[in-house]
Structure 1
């Protein structure tokens, strides 16, 4: 699924459908998608399931008390599972070379993947803003937020994220037929209805706005926290590092996962709109978009790092669980030789008893 690139891939060959407004450029070959994306997305799913399952277990069974920050992070776990549940279908489609799950699952699959990106960005931004007020404005009423109010904020975030994506569920995104069936959101303008064209335009705006504004807010929060603590906590480098870890982790995940997709997608749009004759650049950005698509969902695997840095209670619960697991493993290993040692000791005692009895 590439932005505005309509293609079909079979197991034995690659079939391309000319891009809309291609300006005379031949169709773009997409063999790279079937080679790179399956292993990349598989790694995303494995690491994401491992990290987020542990995070969900800690949130549900190990945290004794919850605060607004924990509630925001828990919603981020939910957003990650939206992608983790949808990506296996996409991997299967790439490996088979066609989509076999029908129109309904195609709509849900695309909806979950796009919503995951928007929700992850929005919730990470909320976590950073919450930390900003805690550090820079400790007496602000925002810091007296109750769990009920935090739940309201979470619901509001989900409504803002989901609302623009709901129309995606109303239209058929299946292209082709038989073994060439594919599940795409973007389609050629030559065959698209006016409603689909409006959805594509809305997606363009959301892709840009949901990245630029949150990135600006994240950088603002990071810079303000750093300058505030340097001015008031001179000589206390540990406190500065601890406070900055949250924003630094969020910014790092944000840049690694979402910046490449945004840049390459905008590049494809700009070239197709203003330089339709520049085929070489268009091909380059298209292939880069394929590669960056795998990074886009790496956030599901990296978000557990945000949980660790954002909550000391989560960190302590995780360390406690790990130390308990290590102790259990050590005890199991120690029990085996000790039991054998006990058996050998018992045998020696029996031998000595027999020897004494013989005497």
Structure 2
């Protein structure tokens, strides 16, 4: 990599981190803890949707708990004996981010099955299956992020280092970035878009579309935007930083702009912890609407079958 100083960007992002992270941490913790209290203590009956939303709240809380360490690491160097703690925190940060992505996708798939395949939904959707899917997400993202422990590059001053900074060139290898972009974003985004579009089409075609169906359509579009708007810039920035670290982009001004872009986009991605919490109420409302649509779909299907006979 060429000698291009990004100290100005680092100084700017330290201020930006404080401006964004503190409100996100305060409101995100309050909203997600409140959501967990509602899901775990106040709801009279667990459903597939409440299990997925509880898992999403846990993922968001895990990500939020990393923010104080990130803010501290941005302004202070850590002692050498904190290396393993640093790698552990970095790993958990990515576990939370990509765990949230996959949980959101699973919510969309569950919704798609309920709306578009009402007969199969009774067989495929269950609290046990939802719990198995959530556990599988945790196992998958923890296994997928484990290589983080092996490609750290410690920026040192004496015996100290700066955490959450300085992945080695191994961490920016083509194989790592391709897997991250494809399996961490492109594939989940494609599944989410397809499921959302199909669900919207069914809701618009249903007799319920004049009232609650229209509300469901708006909620689906809002959920889709809440996923694509924060996570798309983040993964575009990762791709651009890959080009910088592999000396494909050599212009110093472009490198500084990319360094700023990746920090800003990551901050935006962290805001989803608050957006997810605000969406819980609307998702729960959509579930009730979906159940009515599901009953209507089954009733129409039975009527059609009877008339054919």
Q: Give the shorter-chain TM-score range.
A: 0.7 to 0.9
What's the counterpart of residue 225 of structure 1? 199
Unaligned segments of structure 2, at least 5 residues: 289-309
CA positional deviation for 1:62 = 0.5
**In 1, are the aligned partners of 2:204 and 2:214 still within 8 Å (CA)?**
no
Q: Residues 88 and 253 of structure 1: is their aligned pair in 2 closer, same or farther, counting only changes over 3 Å?
A: same
Equivalent of 1:162, from 142, 145, 148? 142
**In 1, are the aligned partners of 2:32 and 2:60 still within 8 Å (CA)?**
yes
Are positions 1:244 and 2:217 aligned together?
A: yes
Q: Residues 224 and 171 of structure 1: is their aligned pair in 2 closer, same or farther, counting only changes over 3 Å?
A: closer
What's the counterpart of residue 212 of structure 1? 186
Which protein is bigger by CA-based radius of gyration? 1
**In 1, are the aligned partners of 2:151 and 2:168 still within 8 Å (CA)?**
no
CA distance in 2 between counterparts of 1:314 and 1:60 reads: 17
**In 2, are the aligned partners of 1:52 and 1:77 still within 8 Å (CA)?**
yes
CA positional deviation for 1:166 = 2.1
**In 2, are the aligned partners of 1:128 and 1:250 still within 8 Å (CA)?**
no
TM-score normalised by L of structure 1: 0.72
CA distance in 2 between counterparts of 1:187 and 1:168 reads: 9
CA positional deviation for 1:298 = 1.0
Unaligned segments of structure 1, at least 5 residues: 1-20, 190-196, 316-359
CA distance in 2 between counterparts of 1:88 and 1:225 reads: 39
> Which structure dedicates a bigger proportion of its chain to helix?
2
- Could you list the per-position Cα deviations for residues 174-226 of structure 1 after superposition, in whole angstroms to 9, with x for gaps in the alignment? 4314585201464344xxxxxxx168555423431211111111111221122
Mapping for residues 1-80 of structure 1, pairs under 5 Å = 21-22=1-2, 25-29=3-7, 30-80=10-60
CA positional deviation for 1:241 = 2.3
- Could you list the per-position Cα deviations for residues 147-195 of structure 1 after superposition, in whole angstroms to 9, with x for gaps in the alignment? 1122111111222211111233467664314585201464344xxxxxx
Are positions 1:99 and 2:78 aligned together?
A: yes
CA distance in 2 between counterparts of 1:266 and 1:260 reads: 10
CA-atom RMSD in angstroms:
2.6
TM-score normalised by L of structure 2: 0.82
Are positions 1:121 and 2:101 aligned together?
A: yes
**In 2, are the aligned partners of 1:58 and 1:314 still within 8 Å (CA)?**
no
